[in-house]
Chains A and B, each alone.
Chain A
């Protein structure tokens, strides 16, 4: 698991040099420019047009980390920011002052130079002709939490690697083109790609034992979709057609590197199992066609009709090739062997239609009645065949077996789901400032999962739910707005034991703007879910209450203050069965957390700013956790268009139950901001 590549850093240095040169030429222009808001590069993109061809700013510099103590795997799993030269942010707008193919090009770059999440966004537009958008994201997923999926550590053995870890880069790429040939017809084209590659850790699972091995993740999906909006005086349509192609070339491998004893450290039927080498290669490929059509009709001023039809049909063709050597046992008959060769093939098809229809009636100016129906259905038909060849078969407990054995088995699976939801709601304006609503929702669905050749053994699920809906919106004088919504459900059956069944949900939101520069927001969300079946006895209760305060006197030029606080409490308990003795127990989960965020932006002089604040998470309950993230940033101008930037970040993470996973780290950065 390595850190960021040096290639990115070289590219970054070249890029920064070029930008520095560009800034030098920009400084020749006498027009002053306001410093953009820190951490909000998008504002430059939406800044009012100026008479200069290039506007924006670039932040770049160097960052280094100082680790006080702690677990580096945890640091990388949670923070993952490293040392080196960085392009922190860049937001540039290029305007064409003469007639051209583009009116404007906006470029945003965030976190380049071996950062765990680098993004680039470019958009170009010609008014009334086209809009072109490009987004590239390179996101690093590092996850190696020593206590997660690590039975050896739990057994007291010195094993500090998770048996399900990874260090991958997922590169996401989107290009969107909207064309406006006329007011009625506006086609669009979208291409997206998501590709993940990188090493990791995973177990090679054999009968009776599982062995920590390496894995190589390599998957990619390419999605293309195109469609058009069709606009008419009383109707709007969108037709979209697309397809995707996905490949998954995962590889799990071990050795040569000595015998791997696996997680089982006791003999199985007298045999001590070990893995000498393994190579498991998957070749998964999926092709999908999908369509999405929507229509909105307004036949009368008092009626809106709309509907969507969506369909996608992915298909799978997968192969598996597996070689393993060691002292192994086979499945399902537990034959001891020294070598296994497994080949497999699988196919699946999953047609998935869904659709909506909705009707909005406005019989009176103050009354709206909204009815909607939603259905989502799919069925999966799949097949797999595995062929297993064993060598060196010796039998267990002294039984003599043939030296080579070949076995094959096939599986057919059928899985269908039919989900339906109907909702009717009436909204009435009691007063221009008060709206009340009430309604009803019904959900019914069926799920069937199993082997089509044995329908009696199929796993069946059924969901029946009736929900009463109510809400009120009040817009009081003095800029006080309150929203309240409640749902009360009575269910007959749920698909899985933890599903919502008999629940009450209440949400209240309020916003008060007592002054033009002061805003207070508050939220209260309650959810209680019960399933009273005697063998489930689920009682789930969650509560979130949050309050935020934003102060921006004089448009925030001198001071911005943002305070956020949330208290969250969650308690869930239900009956579970514990094997091997099938005794009944209770699964309890508690979480009682306080999350606080506070940020202050101070404008020291015209372009000098000092920002400080941070967030704090204190959670007690089943997994007590503390996570502190204070930070401070300073911007000091030393030339008309060049400022010195400096920053500090601090991360302090610890968990009461897993103290070895705690870490504490400082990050310092320094650099320049060039404003154009």
Chain B
């Protein structure tokens, strides 16, 4: 059984690797020589330098912009010193702002690309010429930041970062400058320990967009490949269980929990457990007004049996019996 299980993941891993090797070999062939031709198409697609005559070099830039000299930058000074970026050596400023000769000669700010005031999409495209590693950019189609014109520079700053990686502020503080409502949710008594520093927004969310949140609007950071981030810490809820509780898998944890903060114990979305359960576990069609018929496909869930006499406190506390409500190895009704 172990070998059978192993085959599929290995194949899934090996096939792209093989394809990549073939592609790399092809790319390293004659096509590689064309990269240095500097044609306009390639310049947009990758950070290839324009003809040297249009560049003035970082030293010239530093003459006026001394505070932003490459050697004072936290990370982008690597452009000058790292071998793998040698083609930009001495032109770190222009690797982002474009050729600066016209600007240097005229001091006209309109003659050089400035991130300040540039349309968000255009500014981000400039960063993505280098920073397009798959996991950062492949989720951008799903990224609420990109869709809402929040440029890279809204959170990152090259010239005066306050935290890694090139952040304009400490991560949680930076997020709540826009997500003010989420900040207030963390004031509530039952909450994840974000304010106390135990976790960070980016432990759960991927600010660069992620398809994992495809079932919700949140941009989740994946755990175990493509599972919800909650399961990285709450690993006992992940399963697989012999008996899964359907909405845990299909609706996600937020079907029952408020992940940021709640006034209800266990961060539940209802004040008492029984209402949380009964809102789903009510047989479709039952209780319809006389003559009414259910339309469309009925939702999932069933009515509790009649011996669950809700007048008794025993039955009003559903999870004292259904103790394995997230999923059970042995009991279809989550009792053990």
13 A–B contact pairs at CB < 8 A? A110-B197, A127-B81, A143-B265, A154-B313, A219-B236, A306-B137, A380-B244, A382-B242, A473-B120, A566-B183, A579-B306, A596-B187, A622-B271
Decide if B97 is an interface residue (CB 8 Å cutoff).
no
A106-120 interface bits toward B, Cβ cutoff 8 Å, 1 = contact, 0 = none? 100011000011010
- B-side contacts of A584, CB under 8 Å: 287
Decide if B266 is an interface residue (CB 8 Å cutoff).
yes
Decide if A504 is an interface residue (CB 8 Å cutoff).
no
**Cα of A459 to Cα of B304 in the assembled complex, Å:** 15
**Cα of A78 to Cα of B304 in the assembled complex, Å:** 33
Taking a contact as CB atoms under 8 Å apart, the answer to whether B193 and A117 are in contact is yes
Taking a contact as CB atoms under 8 Å apart, the answer to whether A308 and B163 are in contact is no
Q: Given A411-B332, A413-B332, A496-B251: A615 and B187 within 8 A (CB)?
A: yes
Q: Select from chain B the residue with minimum beta-carbon distance to A129.
A: B82
Decide if B233 is an interface residue (CB 8 Å cutoff).
yes
Taking a contact as CB atoms under 8 Å apart, the answer to whether A316 and B240 are in contact is yes
Taking a contact as CB atoms under 8 Å apart, the answer to whether B236 and A286 are in contact is no
- B-side contacts of A496, CB under 8 Å: 246-247, 250-251, 255, 280, 299-301
B170-206 interface bits toward A, Cβ cutoff 8 Å, 1 = contact, 0 = none? 1101001111110111011110010011110000000
**Cα of A533 to Cα of B236 in the assembled complex, Å:** 36
Binds B, one of A51-59, A295-303, A634-642: A295-303
Q: Select from chain A the residue with minimum beta-carbon distance to B10.
A: A289
Decide if A19 is an interface residue (CB 8 Å cutoff).
no
The 5 tightest CB contacts between A and B, nearest first, are A290-B225, A358-B141, A238-B134, A294-B134, A566-B184
Q: Select from chain B the residue with minimum beta-carbon distance to A437.
A: B147
- Taking CB atoms and an 8 Å cut-off, the chain B residues in 285-336 that contact chain A are 285-289, 292-310, 312-317, 319-321, 323, 329-330, 332, 335-336
**Cα of A483 to Cα of B151 in the assembled complex, Å:** 13
- Taking CB atoms and an 8 Å cut-off, the chain B residues in 106-153 that contact chain A are 117, 119-121, 132-135, 137-142, 147-150
Residue in A147, A291, A427 whose Cβ sees the most chain B Cβ within 10 Å: A291
B202 smallest CB distance to A (angstroms): 12
**Cα of A137 to Cα of B192 in the assembled complex, Å:** 14
B263-285 interface bits toward A, Cβ cutoff 8 Å, 1 = contact, 0 = none? 11110011101010011101111
Taking a contact as CB atoms under 8 Å apart, the answer to whether B214 and A380 are in contact is no
**Cα of A28 to Cα of B80 in the assembled complex, Å:** 35
Taking a contact as CB atoms under 8 Å apart, the answer to whether B246 and A459 are in contact is yes
Taking a contact as CB atoms under 8 Å apart, the answer to whether A461 and B313 are in contact is no
- A-side contacts of B321, CB under 8 Å: 203, 205, 210
Decide if A320 is an interface residue (CB 8 Å cutoff).
yes
How many residues of chain B get a CB closer than 8 Å to chain A's CBs? 154
Taking a contact as CB atoms under 8 Å apart, the answer to whether A459 and B302 are in contact is yes
Taking a contact as CB atoms under 8 Å apart, the answer to whether B241 and A203 are in contact is no
Binds B, one of A8-16, A63-71, A568-576: A568-576
Decide if B239 is an interface residue (CB 8 Å cutoff).
yes
A161-197 interface bits toward B, Cβ cutoff 8 Å, 1 = contact, 0 = none? 0011000001010000000101100100000101010
Which listed residue, A43, A48, A296, touches B138 by the CB 8 Å rule? A296
Decide if B65 is an interface residue (CB 8 Å cutoff).
no
A470 smallest CB distance to B (angstroms): 11
Taking a contact as CB atoms under 8 Å apart, the answer to whether B232 and A205 are in contact is no
**Cα of A432 to Cα of B114 in the assembled complex, Å:** 13
Decide if A314 is an interface residue (CB 8 Å cutoff).
yes
- A-side contacts of B211, CB under 8 Å: 308, 310, 354, 356, 374
**Cα of A634 to Cα of B183 in the assembled complex, Å:** 24
**Cα of A437 to Cα of B149 in the assembled complex, Å:** 10
Decide if A509 is an interface residue (CB 8 Å cutoff).
yes
- 11 further contact pairs, Cβ within 8 A, besides A298-B46, A320-B329, A575-B287: A111-B198, A172-B233, A186-B133, A236-B134, A239-B17, A295-B138, A307-B138, A314-B239, A315-B240, A494-B299, A579-B310
Taking a contact as CB atoms under 8 Å apart, the answer to whether B239 and A350 are in contact is yes
- B-side contacts of A382, CB under 8 Å: 240-243
B74 smallest CB distance to A (angstroms): 7
How many residues of chain A get a CB closer than 8 Å to chain B's CBs? 206
Binds B, one of A223-231, A400-408, A667-675: A223-231
Residue in B238, B266, B317 whose Cβ sees the most chain A Cβ within 10 Å: B317
- A-side contacts of B308, CB under 8 Å: 579-580
- A-side contacts of B46, CB under 8 Å: 233-234, 298
Q: Given A309-B12, A320-B330: A587 and B279 within 8 A (CB)?
A: yes
Decide if A83 is an interface residue (CB 8 Å cutoff).
no
Taking a contact as CB atoms under 8 Å apart, the answer to whether B173 and A40 are in contact is yes
Taking a contact as CB atoms under 8 Å apart, the answer to whether B164 and A221 are in contact is no
B275 smallest CB distance to A (angstroms): 5
Q: Given A238-B135, A349-B5, A494-B299: A128 and B187 within 8 A (CB)?
A: no
Decide if A284 is an interface residue (CB 8 Å cutoff).
yes
B244 smallest CB distance to A (angstroms): 6
Decide if A582 is an interface residue (CB 8 Å cutoff).
yes
Which listed residue, B20, B74, B139, touches A237 by the CB 8 Å rule? B20
- B-side contacts of A48, CB under 8 Å: 72, 74
Decide if A551 is an interface residue (CB 8 Å cutoff).
no
Which listed residue, B176, B226, B247, touches A352 by the CB 8 Å rule? B226
Residue in A292, A322, A425, A583 whose Cβ sees the most chain B Cβ within 10 Å: A292
Residue in B117, B178, B251, B304 whose Cβ sees the most chain A Cβ within 10 Å: B178
Taking a contact as CB atoms under 8 Å apart, the answer to whether B243 and A229 are in contact is no
- A-side contacts of B225, CB under 8 Å: 240, 242, 288, 290-292, 310-312, 352
A71-96 interface bits toward B, Cβ cutoff 8 Å, 1 = contact, 0 = none? 00000011000000000000000000
Taking a contact as CB atoms under 8 Å apart, the answer to whether A521 and B35 are in contact is no
Q: Select from chain A the residue with minimum beta-carbon distance to B246.
A: A449
Taking a contact as CB atoms under 8 Å apart, the answer to whether A473 and B246 are in contact is no
- A-side contacts of B238, CB under 8 Å: 221, 246, 286, 314
- A-side contacts of B185, CB under 8 Å: 566, 568, 595
B196-240 interface bits toward A, Cβ cutoff 8 Å, 1 = contact, 0 = none? 111100000000000110110000001111110000110110111
Taking a contact as CB atoms under 8 Å apart, the answer to whether B303 and A483 are in contact is no
